[in-house]
Every structure is written in C-alpha cells, then in structure tokens.
Amino acid sequence: MWAIKGLSDNTLSAYRTDLTHLARYLASIGLWLENASQAALLDFIDWRTQQGIAKTSSARQLSSIRRYYRYLVAHQTINEDPSALLDTPKLGKHLPSTLTEQEVERLLAEPQCDDAIECRDAAMLELLYATGLRVSELVSLTLSMLSLRQGLVRVTGKGNKDRLVPLGEMAHQAIERYLQQARAELLKGQSSEVLFPSRRGQMMTRQTFWHRIKHYALRANISSELSPHTLRHAFATHLLNHGADLRVVQLLLGHSSLSTTQIYTHVAQLRLAKLHSEHHPRG
C-alpha cells in the first residue's frame, strides 16, 4: 500500500493498528485473519463499538479490514471476501472547529520576534493561516520547497501529490524576517534543509507545534475549541466568507474530492447567518 497507493505514514500506522486489534480479537476466539468469517468480523465490530469507539474510527477500521481482505482475494490467498457485505456506519456531518478573524489576528500577534523560537513560530503561524497547510505538511517543509521570489510554497500532501500554494504578503514578510533574524540562531552552526527546525536543528514533530499553538492561544485568551487543523479550517472558512470559489479552496487545501471541501460551505453559511442576525436591523 505504501508503494502503490502512496499513503502517508500516519494512515499506514492507523491501518496497522486496526488489523492488530482484529488479529488479537480473532485469536481470542480461535481464528486467524485468513479464516475469519463475516459473522466473526461483525462480532469484532460490535465488540469495538461496546468499547466506546467513535463512529469515525469504526468507519476507518472497516476500511482497513476491507482493504486487507480485498488484497488477500486479489492475491488468491482466500477465495471469498468476508468483509464484502459489511455496512459502513452512517456518519453525521462534523463541522470543523475554527476561529473568527478577530481571534486569528490575536493569535498571530502573540509571538514576539525578539526571541528566535517565537520568530520561527510567528512565521509558521502566518504561513499556516495564509496557505491552509496541514500541520504535517508545515513541519516537513524544506528550503527548496519555498520560493520567496515567486511568493509560492510547494507542498507534498497526501498520496505524495505536490501542489503550489501562494504565500500572501504577511506570511512572506514573516518568513523573510525569520530567515534573516532567527533561523541561523536556531541551527547554531548546523546545516539543515528543514525550513522550520526545532531547538535541536531537526524537523519538528506535529505534536510539538500543536503545543506551540495552544501556548499562544492561551496567551491570546482564546477560549474557542482548538485542534491541530484549526488554522487550516479558519483559512478555508474565511476564504469562502470573502467570496472565494469552492474549487479554488479545494485546490489550495489539496483535497482530492470536492465533497471533502464542501463541509466548509456549511461553516461559512452558519457564520453568515449569525452575522446577519446580529447586525441586520431586521435580523
């Protein structure tokens, strides 16, 4: 799957975990992955549901199982796919958590560039909001993926697909300031291609940057619910609020399907309805 589908390490790790759970369950009832029946798979899914697994996790788990058994059938390890008739749990539309434009302004204003770490963070936050990158895409950027002259960043997203995203003036300025004032101090003489290195001069983890976001949100007195993708959601929602075309937002986010991007239209419509009710004289 890694070689053919180009799936990310995180996706592969999730699939591996799902199949490990299934293998252990089957072993407890005297079965193996290769001789599991449809009834055994249903019992496993029911057992996981009773453990309190979320519907989204259950759906991904079922996807893991189906991929695995389709692979076994394709390679003639088994004759019939026991997962073929299993129903995917119905998922409601989950509206992503986001920030208002005022909250984003407060968040972006928090890092102070008299400190090398905060100067780096300021550039990262500005870039995240300007481009809608996933946090995993942000921390894995290298110098060669950035073109300040053209005002573009080349991003390698899911499925190893590249896309070009414009930086915007504020992000451009923040990155230029960081490169001139802070990056060399962070590297302390080391050589690195990583655009935003950690204190040790290495690629930062997603978890580390997530903690940095929470740190600045706390300083900015932002009480809204945050997630690692909060600024990505804000980027998409605010673009749509200001009249951007949905397909343009899809390309910028790197979504393979427009249906994935459409969730943001619901967020934008809810926000517009709220603004109308608050500010229109007959709202």
User: Catalytic residue positions?
Assistant: 134, 158, 229, 232, 255, 264
What is the edge-to-edge ordering of all strands in the sheet holding 146-147? 146-147, 152-156, 162-166
Pairing of strands 162-166, 152-156: antiparallel
Residue 271 is encoded by which pair of tokens? 């926000």
With beta carbons less than 8 A apart as the criterion, state whether 132 and 232 touch: yes
- What tokens were used for 193? 């291609």
- Partnered with residue 27 across adjacent β-strands are none
- The CA distance from 2 to 213, in Å, is 31
- The b/e string for 201-217 (b: 16+ C-beta within 10 A; e otherwise) is eebbebeebbebbeebb
Closest Cα partner for 11 from 1, 23, 22, 24? 1
Closest CA to 123 of 135, 111, 133: 111
